[in-house]
Amino acid sequence: MRENKTNKRKPDLNTVDVIQQYTGQGWVYSDIVKDHFFHPRNLLLEDPKSGEYDAVGQVGAVQCGDVMRMWLKIDPKTERIKKLKWRTFGCGSAISATSIFSVMVTEKGGMKLDEALKIRPQDIVARLGGLPARKVHCSVLADKAFRQAVNNYFRNTKQYQRIMVEGSKVVDKRLNITERDIEQAVLEGAQNLLEVQKKLKVGVGDPQALPEIEQLIRFYKEKYYG
């Protein structure tokens, strides 16, 4: 059946921000999105000094597209987030979403970790005043990077029982390290077991897991680097 082109309404070029070249769909960005894109809060362009932050998390890979890195400074007594810094190679929506998220978790003295972990990508989008449907996934990038950073904090403080395991097989039961953690270590440049262990301590207390870990490292190296 032929598409009735006469019923297609052309977007008003005076109101839309972006025209999708293939569908003709108009995308409208809120003033809040634009403000956080042109004036991102808590952006960190250079890596911090060693020990300056308590935890770091990263999701994505340059080879695959968007990548997000996030640093946390946490009050050890109250577990309030005192600082959250971030950097991304993502699009404007990813920049705006992460900027507003960094404000949400640090304003009013900072949220406690457990409270901040309850923030959903939908909450980020709502705080931005909405995002185009095709860009809602960008809010997930900030959420995932934050969860990685919190897991890193739990590892650094030896709170292994609090590490969040989401949809990935655990390969080191003692430290609660998953296949996804191994994948992320390879994406961050680890090329062999020793280099992965420097990042994760994986297999140190669970030597029976070493053969599977080495197999995973080979698999992810082949997958991402050929």
Q: Which residues are catalytic?
A: 64, 138
Residues 6+ apart with CB under 8 A from 118: none
Residue 223 has which token pair?
């997958």
C-alpha–C-alpha distance, residues 118 and 120, integer Å: 6
